[in-house]
Amino acid sequence: MSHIKLSRRNLLQFGAASAGLAALGPLANIARAADNRKFVVLVNLDGGNDSLNTAVPLNIGAYHDRRPSLSIETPLELTSGSAANSEYGLHPNLTGLQALHSDGQLAMVQKVGYPDANRSHFTSKDVFHTGDTSGLDANDKTGWVARYAQLYNPHTLGCISVGYNAKALQGPGVNLLQMNRLSSFAYNTDGRYAGESERRLQIARTMLERHASVGNAQAVKQAIQAGHQNIDRIQQIVDSYVPNVEYTSSRFGQSLEGISQLIQGGGLGTDIYYTGMGGFDTHSGQGVTGGRHPNLMADLNSGIEAFATDMKALGKWQDCVIVVFSEFGRRNFENGSGGTDHGEGQTLLLTGGAVQGGIYGSDLVPSDIRDHSNLPMEVDFRHIFSEIITNHLGHDAAPVFPDPNQFTAASLGIV
Amino acid sequence: MEIRLVQASRKLARKLLLTMATATLVSCGGGSSDSPNSSAATAGSGNSGTGSSSVFNDSLNPKGEFTDSDIRHFLSRTHFGIEPGKPEIVKAKGLSVYIDEMMAFAPVGSQPFETDANTLLMNDDDPIGLEGKFPSVSDVIDWNINLLMNNPNAFQEVMGMFWQDHFGVDFETFRGEEEHLMIDFVNLLRERGTGNFRDLLLDVSRHGAMLIFLDGADNSKFAPNENYAREFWELFALGVDNGYTETDVIEASRAYTGWRRHHNSATGLTEVVFDPESKAVGSKQPLGNSVGHDLSNDDYGIMVDLTMQHTDATGSDLVASFLSRKLLRHFHSESPSDDLINSFANVLRQNNLNVGPALKILFLSESFYSESAKAGLIRDFYEQVVGLVRTTGLTESNHQYRRYLSDMQSLPSRPPSVEGWPEGDDKISSQATGVSMPNFVNELITNRNNQEAEGYDIGAALQPAAATNATEVVDHLAKLLGVSLDETERQDLINYMNVEISNDGSETPVNYTPQNTDHQSRKLRNLLWILCQHPSFHLK
């Protein structure tokens, strides 16, 4: 098999009617562009990250008391740089994030969540993906990233997910590109009859452009058209990619490298990239410095460290904000299976050249851990995303998060 | 205000009628049944009866007559696709008789296709007597895919996958000596697909695969983890926050103790066994009840029965409504009305939560063939892949099935989370829908040499027996794949069949000749690829 390459003639013939290409302008823009577009990378830690073992409180004895076998005895210190503090440390596997902190570019926001937290993975994920706490079935809601794209960047490449199929990018009438790996986002052909392969694709494109559909058929049509419209330029980007750094072979490492490829490809007009990692539901065998959670920390660290190095080499780091979040934190105390159960509040991490490093939100105090099962919630995650949309991407965030059921707070000033 | 009153009255009348319709159904034979296959329902017994015509589209009144379109709709929802000749079989038998037959599952392991599939689990160095007990993860997936593709009774596998989606277990992290448990778990769901929900709930809860996946086998009597307690109610029995509290979850987690791994040194296999020493001592207070201290048995049965008896403010049990919605969303429509959910929940209750008899009433009802029910549900990718193979006879290697289904995150035996596979339009993505599925179809149509070596005759499989031209072939193949073409689309495809495109793009007009094997190889195979890009192919 081989990947199909549409000719320029084909693209001009069939691209005119495609919303994605029409919105993005002529092919000349596909060339590697040195634009200074600001962008956001969302890293979704799926399953409920144990943020107490990610951003570790140093001076709270209750943390150790309630986690006799799971507390981290020697976290990485954060005592250097402009955002130096002696209250928190990082998981020992987060050395790259420690370096970013020393550069004043790692922010930690304490006690993040949303009102009336739900300890269900799926309800909480729905809230994080849609920004909506109403009781509606998530299938009937629009993701908040999709809402952002509809408002401010309405084309198939306006926001993109790589390696993580996110409800946040979905909704009625929304057609944002979601890919596993860039290299696999290509059509295979009938090698015996290459001419027939090209023609069959043309016929399918024409058929879909004319096809009147509603509901699920419309959603299917748009997803197929996203392939028709973008495969060729994605493969051009893959073909012209020159790596600056070596990413790990993990799914997360490869996803971040894919985002880097898209950024290097230039001219796509993408504001938000969405990716993530699974495996954070550590009810048992969580581990401290070795095991499930430490391995996940190492994967997270390697990916972000490589991506930061890459963006710095490309001169893109100042345009970048990375947000690391989960659907909830985990319990303050360990269970008898060497793990932690579903919690509520979490410490949310941000990094990037545009991030002002430091600790945001009210500090953890002993009673937060000693007297409660879960970290309290004081900062609404939508407040953080709103600040990024407003201060970094330059848009009014209110229509993106219209849900009135939110914690209110003054600006944090992270970006 | 006046308008509101009228609307309220209509709604009330509608509810009353639905209740009456349900009561009528029950009284004419939908009563309780101990056997999943012993439905006494008499609704809609044939294709040409004179059953009543309901005023409301979502009535569970038995439908009197079933058109060809109805039969195709029934098959598309209850099988992986509409296999050649199947509509005619249903029509000849009568739908009611056909349903009885498709719900009469043969004992698991008793059929030749299962024997064939079991060979995929075996390794050369398996100990005698333990053949097939040490498969790799890939072996189990291949075995499951083969069952879906080759079971003559597709409905058994449809139900097996329904329950895999409902009771999501991913065995990727199982140790080698634990993977045999997944085979047994899949077979349990295949065997009991139309059986009693209470019994299934209990046996799934105590199954080694579930106990390992949701950490029951690692539970501690001193500080139990909450994993199973939470997911049991949220995903398997009640729905999120539906009649239980966080305190209930904590109490239930103490009840879900007492099981642990046991390595059998004689077989080398890990089993999960009940161990009174591992059970949390003292009474537990879930759902406002008290479960006494008794170390001789586990509390799983008690927990299941307390859940089954748990009622809402009106005194209705919650499980039936939860199961009703789940079954309706899978078989009927994405957003069934509250009235329909309630009506079908009553059918389930009257049948003591025996799934088969209740589904039979649904499949024979007016509602199942209403306009809203016929609006397309999105097919899972495994349904599309299995359906293509079953309807066309085209085959690929196990490796390729697994590779593409993995790309589409739709591997049998590997649901992406305990919640199962995505629902509704969340299934759709530009990668899976737009690229991976077309590439799978390409893989299938370009596997010419192997298919022909195995004696596959694509002309006979995908064309009418006496076809003479492209028009007949396009119409036939579109119908086989369940694709609805408008006249312009149809004409474009006929035109495509009557021209050959060389590699430099030049065109040579031809008259597509169905018996010409070169034409079949060049045009018929690529016609199939185009039809699979049509939105209606992705719906059922």
The ipTM of this complex is: 0.89
User: At B10, is the pLDDT very low, low, confident or very high (cuts 50, 70, 90)?
Assistant: very low
Q: Does B377 touch chain A (CB under 8 A)?
A: yes
Cβ of B425 and A216 within 8 Å? yes
pLDDT per residue over A105-115, tens digit each? 999 999 999 99
Cβ(A189)–Cβ(A262) under 8 Å?
Answer: no
**Which DSSP string do the residues of A5-52 spell out, in sequence order?**
---HHHHHHHHTT-HHHHHH--GGGGS-------EEEEEEETT---GG
List pLDDT tens digits, range B126-160: 999 999 999 999 999 999 999 999 999 999 999 99
Strand pairing category for A106-113 and A379-380: parallel
Q: Does A106 touch chain B (CB under 8 A)?
A: no
Indicate whether B179 pLDDT > 60: yes
Number of inter-chain CB pairs under 8 A, A vs B: 212
Q: Chain B, 218-277: which have a CB under 8 Å from a chain A CB?
A: 218-227, 230, 234-235, 240-241, 246
Q: What is the pLDDT of residues B472-492, one digit of tens each?
A: 999 999 999 999 999 999 999
For the stretch B309-330, pLDDT in tens is 999 989 999 999 999 999 999 9
Q: Compare CB distances from A217 to B419, B526, B536 and report the shortest one's residue.
A: B536
Contacts of B251 in chain A (CB under 8 A): none
Closest in A193, A281, A337 to B220, CB measured: A337
What is the number of residues in chain A? 415
Distance CA B283, CA A230 (A): 61
Round to whole Å and give the CA distance between A203 and B495: 10
Does residue A41 lie in a domain region? yes
Structure tokens at B13: 């009348």
Average pLDDT over residues B432-444: 97
- B443, A188: Cβ pair inside 8 Å? yes
Q: List chain B domain ranges.
A: 2-104+337-373, 112-318, 381-538
- Which candidate, B390, B449, B396, B369, places its Cα nearest to that of B64? B369
Please state, in angstroms and rounded to a whole number, the distance separating the CA atoms of residues A108 and B257. 38
pLDDT at A136: 67
pLDDT(A33) > 60: no
For residue B246, what is the nearest residue in chain A, using CA coordinates? A119
Task: Give A25 to chain B, closest Cα distance, Å.
Answer: 21
pLDDT band of A138, cuts 50, 70, 90: low
Asked if residue A16 has pLDDT above 90, the reply is no
Per-residue pLDDT tens over the stretch A141-199: 899 999 999 999 999 999 999 999 999 999 888 889 999 999 999 999 999 999 999 99
Compute the mean pLDDT over every residue in chain B, rounded to the nearest whole number.
90
Question: Are A20 and A155 within 8 A, CB to CB?
Answer: yes
pLDDT interval class at B13 (50, 70, 90): very low
List CB contacts (< 8 A) between B529 and chain A.
190, 200, 204
Taking all residues of chain A, what is their mean pLDDT, rounded to a whole number? 91
Res A14 pLDDT > 70: no
Residue A267 confidence (pLDDT):
86
Q: Give me the pLDDT at residue A172, please.
A: 84
Give the span between the Cα atoms of B187 and B156, in whole angstroms.
Answer: 11
Task: State the average pLDDT over residues B463-467.
Answer: 96
- Among residues A310, A344, A280, the alpha carbon closest in space to that of A91 is found at A280
In a domain, A142, yes or no: yes
Q: In the predicted model, what is the mean pLDDT of residues A3-22?
A: 36
CB-nearest partner of A336 from B224, B418, B505: B224
Of the pLDDT bands very low, low, confident and very high (cuts 50, 70, 90), residue B58 is low
Contact B343, B16 (CB under 8 A): no
Closest Cβ opposite residue A188 in set B376, B439, B539: B439
Tell me the average pLDDT across A41-56.
Answer: 98
pLDDT surpassing 70 at residue B80: yes
Interface of A with B in 257-296 (CB under 8 A): 281, 283-285
CA-to-CA separations, A412 to A87, A355, A384, A407, B439, in angstroms, rounded: 19, 11, 8, 13, 47
Domain with residue A310: its CATH number is 3.40.720
Nearest-Cα distance to chain A for B7, in Å, is: 23
pLDDT tens readout for residues B353-377 = 999 999 999 999 999 999 999 998 9
Tens-place pLDDT, residues A190-235:
999 999 999 999 999 999 999 998 889 999 999 999 999 999 999 9
Taking alpha carbons only, the member of B134, B149, B21 closest to residue B81 is B149
Closest-CA distance of chain A to residue B188, Å: 26
Q: Give the pair of three-digit tokens for residue A32.
A: 């590697």
Q: What is the pLDDT of residues B277-317, one digit of tens each?
A: 999 999 999 999 999 988 889 999 999 999 999 999 899 99
- Contact between B306 and B288 (Cβ < 8 Å): no
B336: which chain A residues are within 8 Å (Cβ-Cβ)?
A: none
Rounded mean pLDDT, A352-360: 97
Q: What's the number of domains chain A is made of?
A: 1
The verdict on a CB contact (< 8 Å) between B423 and A139 is: yes
Confidence at B29, pLDDT banded by 50, 70, 90? very low
Give A261-280 pLDDT, tens digit per residue.
999 998 899 999 999 999 99
Residue A250 falls within a domain, yes or no?
Answer: yes
Q: How confident is the model at residue A31 (pLDDT cuts 50, 70, 90)?
A: very low
pLDDT in tens, B230-276: 999 999 999 999 999 999 999 999 999 999 999 999 999 999 999 99
Q: Is A342 on the interface with B (CB under 8 A)?
A: yes
- pTM for this structure? 0.90
Asked whether the beta carbons of B270 and B262 are under 8 A apart, the reply is yes
Which ranges constitute the DSSP H helices of B288-354?
300-309, 318-331, 338-350
pLDDT, residue A331, reads 97
What domain range includes position A64?
A: 35-185+244-392
What does the block give as tokens for B453?
A: 């070596």
Query: In angstroms, what separates the C-alpha of A74 from chain B's closest C-alpha?
Result: 26
Whether the predicted pLDDT of B9 surpasses 50: no
Question: What pLDDT does residue B6 have?
Answer: 33
> Do A179 and B525 lie within an 8 Å CB cutoff?
no
Cα separation of A280 and A179, whole Å? 22
Dump strand ranges (E) for B345-498: none
Task: Please list every residue in chain A whose beta carbon sits closer than 8 Å to the beta carbon of residue B377.
Answer: 216
pLDDT at B213 over 50: yes
Q: What is the C-alpha to C-alpha distance for residues B279 and B292, in angstroms, rounded to an integer?
A: 12
Q: In this complex, is the C-beta atom of A26 within 8 Å of any C-beta atom belonging to chain B?
A: no
Q: Does residue B503 belong to the interface with chain A, where contact is any CB pair within 8 Å?
A: yes
In a domain, A368, yes or no: yes
Query: Which of A167, A176, A207, A218 is the best mutation test for B, with the most CBs of B within 10 A?
Result: A207
| % of chain A exceeding 70 in pLDDT | 91
Beta bridge partners of A242: none
Does any CB of chain A come closer than 8 Å to the CB of residue B296?
A: no
Interface of A with B in 114-173 (CB under 8 A): 118-123, 137, 139-140, 156, 165, 167, 170, 172
Residue B522: DSSP 8-state? I
